[in-house]
Amino acid sequence: MWRNIASNALTIFVVLLFVAGGVILWGQRQYHAQGPLAQAICLKVERGSNMARVSRDLEEQGAISSGAIFRMGAKYEDKALDLKAGSFLVPPGASMQEIVDIVTRGGQSTCGTEVVYRVGVRRNEIRLRRLDPEKEVYVQVAAFDPQAGEAPEAYRKAREEGDLLYRIVLAEGVTSWQVAEALKAADFLEGDLEAIPDEGSLAPDSYEVKAGTPRSELIARMQEKQEKILAEAWANRAEGLPLKTPEEALILASIIEKETGVPEERRRVASVFINRLNQGIRLQTDPAVIYGITRGQGGLGRGLRQSELRRKTPYNTYLIDGLPPTPIANPGRASIEAAVNPEDTDYLFFVADGSGGHAFARTLREHNENVARWRRIEQERAREGGN
């Protein structure tokens, strides 16, 4: 009898083991299989949330077929405690494994309603926009200059609701004064800035921040990024440059940034200034002269006067030898890299060509011809504008 009982028990155990193995295999297939989501959704993960709460939310939105399998899969992959707060785009048909990866990998939030503060050379603008998960495109809700007037109602309402992502985008060529003034006007940041950051020390880029982020903390992030960019570029610089320090490279990069907005020209413009420095020719760059007048506090708003070109300042490169004492703006990575890796040319001059770019010349005679051509273009445009 005991032999029969033992035999039956063994049989039952084997069957249960087989069933359990089948359930596990089925669960694994479910975890990796394409999910039931028909249209993309924006999944919000609150700070302090957990996998149980997220799995319930996913089930309610029809993104997963089993919250239990979702949680067990996350635990099996040792990701159950790696949940990140934020708003994440879950694409149609995403498997449970893919969703676990989305909510645990970290990085910037990928959907929701966001505030993008663009700090530009000529104007600043806050844009309130909302992601359409189905089309995976952002739809603009409101746009305004925070320094020019009252914020629109849509923005104020969104701020009151509190469920916002924030991003600050610095344009290449902005000055540190412009950045400091723009950040003062950002009502989602906190704290004072003790001083205007050193010119050139801020990296133009996109920065995700949270409401209440101290302004000084954001400035520190910008400076740290610029330091890394400059150090990397300097370590990979070309040989034989007339630049003694990374700081001199940054100064030249800021001049390149203000002289051209055409990406393909940066290294060619850099070659002109490098050739001039090598030959002891003054740089004669208008943006530096303008900076000596404005100190980066906005644009000049007009052309340079002859009296200003004759006035000696540390930034008047028509009268001083070599580089000005500091950068004249915050250059981007491309301009920094161009400064230390210029094209190999024998150009010494350049002037606008009427197409948005520049005409380059090796001799003063060629340059004067290019200048005359540009003057004719200016006159034709003035006549057309007057008609």
Q: Is the dihedral of CA 317, 322, 327, 331 positive or negative?
A: positive
User: Which of 104, 125, 154 is the last residue before a domain boundary?
Assistant: 104
At 267, list the tokens: 């290294």
Q: What pTM value is reported for the model?
A: 0.77
**Domain contains 11:** no
Whether 250 maps to a domain, the answer reads yes
Q: How do residues 119-174 score in pLDDT, each as one tens digit?
A: 999 999 999 888 777 666 778 888 889 988 788 888 888 888 767 888 999 999 99
Q: For the chain, how many structural domains are there in total?
A: 3
Pair (283, 354) in one structural domain: yes
Cα 43 versus chain centre, distance = 24
Domain boundary among 177, 202, 229: 229
The first and second tokens of residue 150, run together, are 């009252």
Helix (H, G, I), strand (E, B) or coil at 52: helix
**Residue 80 falls inside a structural domain:** yes
Q: What is the pLDDT of residue 26?
A: 57
> Where is the domain boundary, 194, 229, 264?
229
Q: Is 348 found in the same domain as 264?
A: yes
Give domain status of residue 367, yes or no: yes
Residue 333 inside a domain? The answer is: yes
CATH number at residue 76: 3.30.1490.480
Rg (Cα) of the chain, in Å, rounded? 30
Biggest CA pair distance of the chain: 117
Q: Give the pLDDT confidence score for residue 240 in this predicted structure.
A: 92
Where in the sequence is the domain holding 83, given as residue range(s)?
28-104
Residue 375 phi/psi, 5° resolution? Answer: -65, -40
- Do 222 and 243 fall within a single domain? no
Could you give the residue ranges of the DSSP H alpha helices within 301-363? 306-310, 333-340
> Would you say residue 5 lies in a domain?
no
Residue stretches of the chain with pLDDT short of 70 = 1-27, 106-110, 134-136, 162, 385-387
pLDDT of residue 263: 92
Are residues 349 and 224 part of one domain? no
Question: Are 256 and 378 contained in the same domain?
Answer: yes
pLDDT score of 378: 76
Long-range CB pairs of 239-243, under 8 A, 24+ apart, other chains included: 241/274, 241/340, 242/274, 242/277, 242/278, 243/277, 243/339, 243/340
Query: What's the confidence (pLDDT) of residue 259?
Result: 93
373 domain residue, yes or no:
yes
345 shares a domain with 211: no
Residues 271 and 168 in one domain: no
Q: Is 161 inside a domain boundary?
A: yes
